[in-house]
Structure 1
Amino acid sequence: MANSYCASFFLFFTTLVFLLPRSCPQSTNQSGDEHQILLGLKRYWGSSPVLGRWNPTSSDHCSWGGVTCKNGMVTAIFLPNQTFSKPIPPSLCHLKNLTYLDLSYNNFSTSFPTVVYNCSNLKYLDLSNNAFAGQLTADINSLSAKLEHLNLSANHITGKIPASIGQFPMLKSLRLDTNQFEGSYPAQNISNLASLEVLTLAENPFLPAPVPVEFGKLTRLTYLWVSGMNMTGEIPDSLSSLTELSLLAMNNNMLQGTIPTWVWQHKKLQNLYLFSNSFTGEISSNVTAVNLVDLDVSSNMLTGKIPDDFGKLIDLNLLFLYTNQLHGSIPPSIGFLPNLRDIRLFENMLSGPLPPELGKHSPLGNLEVCNNNLSGELPADLCSNRKLFDIVVFNNSFSGKLPESLDGCYMLNNLMLYNNHFTGEFPKSIWSVVTNQLTTVMIQNNNFSGTFPTQLPWNFTRLEISNNRFSGPIPTLAGKMKVFRAANNLISGEIPWDLTGISQVIELDLSGNQITGSIPMTIGVLNHLNELNLSGNQISGTIPAAFGFMSVLTILDLSSNVLSGEIPKDFNKLRLDFLNFSMNNLTGEIPTSLQNEAYGQSFLFNPALCVSSNNSIPNLPICRARANSSNDISRRLIALFFALGSIMLVGSAVGGFLLLKGQKNSQDPLSWKLTQFHALHFTEYDVLSGLCEQNCIGSGRSGKVYRVCVVDGEGGSRMVAVKKIWNMQNLDKKLEKDFLAEVQILGEIRHTNIVKLLCCISSSEAKLLVYEYMENGSLDRWLHQRDRIGALTPLDWPTRLQIAIYSARGLCYMHHGSSPTIVHCDVKSSNILLDPDFRAKIADFGLARILLKAGDLGSVSAVGGTFGYMAPEYGYQRKVNEKVDVYSFGVVLLELTTGRVANDAGLEYCLAEWAWRQYQEYGLSIDLLDEGIQDPAYMEDTFAVFTLGMICTGGQPSMRPSMKDVLHALLRFEHKSLERSPQHAVSEETALLES
């Protein structure tokens, strides 16, 4: 399955490649007229990635990008992806020797350009992926008689295909797919193209008609794509003469009958796509098409068993037989196929176990066998090759424990095992926070046991574990979580107070567990929650009024707990489709909006609840005013005011005392206020006593940084980093703003790749930020200060790549996992800190900006950031969005790959510009790379990351990828690096297991 970010990355990189200078032999007889024609094209079409580099002062147009010459004369124009929209000018065909013209992937929107009829020597014409409209002219054969390749696919061409299309005696490739052709296809005329090797008519709304028997005359065809064009009937035997076919795609039609035997015995067929038709009958038992790579006959009505001969298809990569009526067992021989990557057999009537060797001998990536009658255990070596990303086996009868090979299955993305009979402890490695790529885990209705880690992976979006035997406390949930269902387990403890990590959750079901404590007041942060079920626990206390903030909540079940007190009046703000407060100890009058028959069964077995009228909910009593209620209220108010007065009196006395103490000694801990964001074992005095000059480890724009040893638990100690803001009496408004921004952001963030702010200590004279201490210092220190320090060894490439990935995870969370979105505004190597295992964390949020909603552009009053890392628009437009961080991170990638600093006062331009110029002049040369990582084993991945850095530092913000796309790209490079280095793969696997 292709990802959109992969396609964008490929297209952009292809464009970069086209910018490289090209050379070709020149003739001393080169025509000056052709030079002027090309310059005219540049003036006419305007600037584009390639035309913008055509040098008008150079007489050697054969060296221009996209131009190919022979004996000094232009023979080929190659200009795809140039955003051209003006029509093709007649002057183009004044290049009399032009044989090759590619203008694909542009923005042409005219009718078919008949001006190309004048290009009399054309052999290759590619106008695909534009927006040409209208009909083809009847005299389409006016194109060059020498034409060998015609590609008009992916346009908006209508009408019928002209009969004259069959009058190109030398045509080898005809691509007319993905248009709006109608009527009947000119099968007889096309069958006259005796030299045709490629024919694509797919995805056009032709009139329903049988498969043309005439196509059997095209005996040189190697590629036949006729999908989605309303073909009916059976596949004719005449097509058996197409013995050179490597691809046959007839999917998404209305074909019937059986799949002919000749198809299964074709000697050269590699790709067979017959899915989404109405084929019946059995698959031939004699399958000898041993060159098959992709086989997809899904979504038909095939019956019988899967032939044993499928085990002979040793080149088979993709096997799709899903949504048929196949029965019997899956042949064990399929498990030995050496190249099998994707097997989808779901929605059949298959039975028995999976092939025992499945996954052991091939790079298996996707397994989907749900909705069958399969049984037994999952194969022991299912993920032994560490390629598996999808396991979809729900609605079967599988049993036993999960295979140990899943422990190192770090590419796993979707795990759907629900409605089976699995047992045993769920593998802890699957919950790994550091490396896990899982987004979906659905294992409900099994018999799994086990506990959760302290925090689940940040990228989880769906976790369903209901009806198992999981125990232990509720974990800190992930920032991207949308659905969490854990009903009917043995989960205990209290609901975590900090729920900001799941502020995006939509469905939350913890019913039928052993949860105690109260519902935290912070429940209101779940303002995206649509469904909440906490029934069947031992939750006590009152119902928080914060429910009133949950405006999209429609389903709420708090029944069968020990809740007490009144139902908050804030429930009048909600519009609930389902509500259940039954079997609690609630008291008082039910909020007015809930007093209607729609909630008639919502308050059962709460004897102290009442309503204002029996016309609302007949089963509940009417509230009666108590005679002494006003006296009770008066007494309570008097007591409350007395208590408040006492507190204010004591507070004033204490405040005066502390003020006197502060005047005597500003270092007295009583004059400091400690605000903690995590559980701490040290006091403000422990920190203050360590703020001496010998502990100073750095000095920044707004203050000094100290390394201080403080108490950590019983008798232990730990290092913390303390950032002291300059003397508060001299603190200007800008630095005060920096301080407040850092405290506000870091105090709320919980992410493994963002530095942890432990507490804030403030007084009238200074402010201190206390962070976790990162033993290995900054990335800048390891890249650029090794020579000065002398004791640091160069970072190898796997370590650098991991640092890039960890940093990208932190920024990705800020941009895509946090609400509101956070923009750092000062990403640089000195703000990327490293722990003892070189796990990177983003630090120093003094310039961070919070975007109140995605896409907002926030203006900044003063330019911040660091020269060499700042995006161009941040410097002169003063506009902030996530793309300024992407630019800065791109500079960090260039630092990691080149080893150069982001800005050197001795250079005329910054690193991003240097990299771009070097690439233009020399391409991907080894001289670009840092000497410490010029290892041939990683060269391809290092160049890929270098290229990604250049893409991130593009001048136009809209052309830069998102941090999510950057992270996905880096993860792909990581997996390739692991593939190329078995030794590192083993050590990485060990590290993952230990974590």
Structure 2
Amino acid sequence: MFPLLSLLLLLLLLCSTSLPPFVNSLNAEVYVLLTLKQSITDPQGSMSNWNDSDQNPCSWNGITCKDQSVVSISIPKRKLYGSLPSTLGSLSQLRHINFRNNKLFGNLPPQLFQAQGLQSLVLYGNSFSGSVPNEIHNLRYLQTLDLSQNFFNGSLPATIVQCKRLTTLVLSINNFTGRLPDAFGTGFLFLQKLDLSFNQFNGSIPSDMGNLSSLQDTVDLSHNHFSGLIPSTLGNLPEKVYIDLTYNNLYGPIPQNGALMNRGPTAFIGNPGLCGPPLKNPCGSDTPGANSTSPIPFLPDSNPSQDIGNNGYGKSKGLTKGAVVGIVVGDIIGICLLGLLFSFCYSRVYGFNQDQDENVVNKGTKGRIECFCFRKDESGALSDNVEQYDIVALDNQVAFDLDELLKASAFVIGKSGIGIMYKVVLEDGLALAVRRLGEGGSQRFKEFQTEVEAIGKLRHPNIVTLRAYYWSVDEKLLIYDYISNGNLATAMHGNAGLATSTPLSWLFRLKIMKGTAKGLVYLHEFSPKKYVHGDLKPSNILIGHSMEPHISDFGLGRLAIIAGGSQTLESDHAAAEKPQERRRNSMSTEVPPNVLASGYQAPEALKVVKPSQKWDVYSYGVILLEMITGRLPIVQVGSSEMDLVQWIEFCIEEKKPLSDVLDPYLAEDADKEDEIIAVLKIAMACVHSSPEKRPTMRHVLDALNRLCISSD
């Protein structure tokens, strides 16, 4: 008896020596939670009372127990930085995990899902990445899964449909791809909230989603790559549910039944292939999925003797006498008017001295022709060599003409490879910005007119408005609103030879970031052609009197090419710049010169000819990094140089403190550190080397808006 007892005591002693020193007096749950504490940096001391001297963790911050067992871990918005240990899954009674709005990163450990009683997993607003483990099917009691605003990727595991008790599934603002799992609509019969927006899901919308009869509020599938027809079974959802299908690749007619009826067009915009009510785009007979029983338009009978009504036409004998007389009289009047107009224009144009048309933006130069006339080439067809003799207004707010512009005071405010920019002040005090695109070269007026009028239709508070233009063989002018406070490059780095301006506070920087993002979202998603800027950089982000940003130079490169001459995009100059010249310029303390524009170009821009919206996302990300660090896009490191993105990646790998990265002028905004780090994470997502893995600008704007800053 006694030898056996001694042997048991000896074994217990040996086992205890293999455990950490503090485990001897702790239960298993305390050990697991202390492992969590060791794997996380806690700058605000949220875990300061997690002590190894306690027999149980039930009194610890963020911990809730039931019957002396841990059932909940909830530490939101505490700047926790680190990754989740796999040991958390060993908390057998764990029901709730909430780490929302922290700085946690890394993959979700599959062992986490060994806590089979878990009912809610809330991780939104962190930097988790990787895919969702297949082991999620172990969570048979899971009701809330919120992984939004992270960097998760890959497709959803097919096993997720085994979480049949889910009531909330929110995966928005990630990089999920692939098709939705089979039985998506039949597996979640208790689902009340579904948000898959701002991902890269593709494939068709599952037809069985109409079975989700418990859904409430909004079903958000927007900003993905769903394709194919809208399944009519979606109409089976409760009628109070708002279905958001915007910005996908859906096509065909919009089903008119149940929850899909009586919806405004805002639920379907961004799908050019959709047709039918409530959109104004009618469905044609060849539209895929079009209803074969749709009404047939009226066609007159082919029988020539058939009377088709009293609408100005008689029977098959032809036009009535009254109709014939009316047509003849109209033709005669029209010919007479054309003759008078030609005679008048000829008399006005004859003898005009074209020398008066030079130097149109120089003060005191005059020259005005009262008539708009087109030259004809030898064949008599309308020529692209068109001469205009007054300003063409692009909106009804233009109340000045060429004569007033010629009499105005003009000051040079900028010069680049695309021409000279002037500030022009009219006699009534109105200030305008006038850009000369140069002279000579190929004259393609029709193409220029189409392009410039399309740009002139863009109206957004964060995009510089093009008000009017002027075209002649020797002169092309673009007339914009004048923005009074310089550009972002000068605001950030000052101007060479001038006194340094007041440094931008974090509040103003964030306001500029958000406003610029809003302008890009408008260009990418709401402009008629879903435009790409293609050459975004701080020098063409102008700053208004209230520090609001205005994106300028949109479409300028294209217009310069059409107008002819030797103009070249500044970014093209940068791409061809010799390394030693770029290094010399990058070491200067001046505002970033044009040759540094390559620092804002996406890596694929050197290989792909056609710009994409992800080019703008990359450029925007570099600008964010520049505003956070205060550095130029080319950074000098010892005797070598690297671009700003590489430098930031180097600092992250070397685990440099934030103070080494941050613009020294932001030292006074130390209390905004969490916001600055959040923006830094957004910037790093924007400058991902793979275009497909960069977020959309809508994704970026939503992330910035969720910082809860009163910066607008």
Aligned residue number for residue 696 of structure 2: 962
Distance 2:536 2:500 in 1: 26
- Closer, same or farther: CA 936–739 of 1 in aligned 2, 3 Å: farther
Say if 2:141 and 2:165, in contact at 8 Å, map to a contact too: no
Say if 1:887 and 1:952, in contact at 8 Å, map to a contact too: yes
Aligned residue number for residue 920 of structure 1: 653
Distance 1:953 1:734 in 2: 39
For structure 2, list consecutive stretches of 5 or more residues without a partner in the other structure: 1-38, 41-81, 88-105, 118-132, 143-158, 168-186, 194-211, 219-237, 247-261, 286-291, 370-388, 560-568, 575-596
2:173 is the alignment partner of 1:200? no
2:665 is the alignment partner of 1:938? no
Aligned residue number for residue 539 of structure 1: none
Distance 1:125 1:880 in 2: 40
2:597 is the alignment partner of 1:885? no
Selected match of 1:903 from 600, 611, 634: 634
Distance 1:907 1:961 in 2: 31
Aligned residue number for residue 433 of structure 1: none
Distance 1:735 1:646 in 2: 29
Shift of 1:764: 3.1
Residue type at the aligned position of 2:652: Y
Q: How many residues align?
A: 444
- Closer, same or farther: CA 821–785 of 1 in aligned 2, 3 Å: same
Distance 2:161 2:681 in 1: 38
Selected match of 1:830 from 533, 536, 539: 539
Shift of 1:632: 3.0
Aligned residue number for residue 515 of structure 2: 806
Aligned residue number for residue 347 of structure 2: 653
Shift of 1:812: 1.2
2:373 is the alignment partner of 1:669? no
Pairwise CA RMSD: 5.4
> 1:372-771 residue pairs with structure 2 within 5 A?
482-483=265-266, 530-531=276-277, 552=283, 593-595=297-299, 623=314, 625-659=319-353, 662=356, 667-670=365-368, 672-678=389-395, 679-690=397-408, 692=410, 695-711=411-427, 716-726=428-438, 728-729=439-440, 743-771=452-480
Q: What is the SS of the residue equivalent to 1:769?
A: strand
Say if 2:405 and 2:426, in contact at 8 Å, map to a contact too: yes
Distance 1:782 1:125 in 2: 48
Residue type at the aligned position of 1:669: G
- Closer, same or farther: CA 661–649 of 1 in aligned 2, 3 Å: farther
2:464 is the alignment partner of 1:772? no
Q: Percent identity?
A: 25
Distance 1:125 1:923 in 2: 30
* Higher share in helix: 2
Selected match of 1:870 from 601, 605, 630: 601
Say if 1:828 and 1:892, in contact at 8 Å, map to a contact too: yes
Distance 2:420 2:553 in 1: 13
Residue type at the aligned position of 2:549: A
Aligned residue number for residue 682 of structure 2: 948
Q: What is the SS of the residue equivalent to 1:775?
A: coil
Per-residue Cα deviation, 1:283-328 (whole angstroms, up to 9, x for no partner): xxxxxxxxxxxxx999xxxxxxxxxxxxxxxxxxxxxxx999xxxx
Shift of 1:696: 1.5
Shift of 1:918: 1.5
Shift of 1:942: 0.7
Shift of 1:960: 1.4
Per-residue Cα deviation, 1:853-883 (whole angstroms, up to 9, x for no partner): xxxxxxx999467221111111244342111
- Closer, same or farther: CA 958–683 of 1 in aligned 2, 3 Å: same
Shift of 1:699: 1.4
Distance 1:200 1:887 in 2: 38
Say if 2:432 and 2:480, in contact at 8 Å, map to a contact too: yes
Say if 1:833 and 1:840, in contact at 8 Å, map to a contact too: yes
Say if 2:621 and 2:687, in contact at 8 Å, map to a contact too: yes
Say if 1:614 and 1:622, in contact at 8 Å, map to a contact too: no
Distance 1:125 1:636 in 2: 82
TM-score (norm 2): 0.51
Shift of 1:776: 0.8
Shift of 1:743: 2.8
Distance 1:754 1:664 in 2: 30
Residue type at the aligned position of 1:633: I
Distance 1:824 1:921 in 2: 35
Per-residue Cα deviation, 1:750-782 (whole angstroms, up to 9, x for no partner): 222110011112333222211111111101111
Shift of 1:784: 0.7
Say if 1:702 and 1:725, in contact at 8 Å, map to a contact too: yes
Q: What is the SS of the residue equivalent to 2:392?
A: strand
TM-score (norm 1): 0.38
Shift of 1:643: 2.0
- Closer, same or farther: CA 738–888 of 1 in aligned 2, 3 Å: farther
Q: What is the SS of the residue equivalent to 1:789?
A: coil
- Closer, same or farther: CA 176–807 of 1 in aligned 2, 3 Å: closer
> 1:176-195 residue pairs with structure 2 within 5 A?
none
Selected match of 1:841 from 527, 538, 550: 550
Distance 1:837 1:824 in 2: 24
Shift of 1:916: 1.6
Shift of 1:660: 5.8
Distance 1:760 1:701 in 2: 19
Distance 2:536 2:526 in 1: 18
Distance 1:931 1:805 in 2: 22
- Closer, same or farther: CA 842–861 of 1 in aligned 2, 3 Å: closer
Distance 1:740 1:918 in 2: 49
Selected match of 2:165 from 237, 251, 276: 251
Distance 2:451 2:643 in 1: 28
Per-residue Cα deviation, 1:59-78 (whole angstroms, up to 9, x for no partner): xxxxxx99x9xxxxxx99xx
Shift of 1:740: 7.3
Say if 2:134 and 2:160, in contact at 8 Å, map to a contact too: no
Distance 2:274 2:513 in 1: 32
Q: What is the SS of the residue equivalent to 1:704?
A: strand
- Closer, same or farther: CA 629–553 of 1 in aligned 2, 3 Å: same
Distance 1:893 1:658 in 2: 53
Distance 1:744 1:621 in 2: 39
Q: What is the SS of the residue equivalent to 2:634?
A: coil
Distance 1:654 1:733 in 2: 27
Residue type at the aligned position of 2:298: L
Per-residue Cα deviation, 1:561-606 (whole angstroms, up to 9, x for no partner): xxxxxxxxxxxxxx99679xxxxxxxxxxxxx53579xxxxxxxxx
Distance 1:933 1:841 in 2: 23
Shift of 1:630: 2.6
Distance 1:734 1:757 in 2: 21
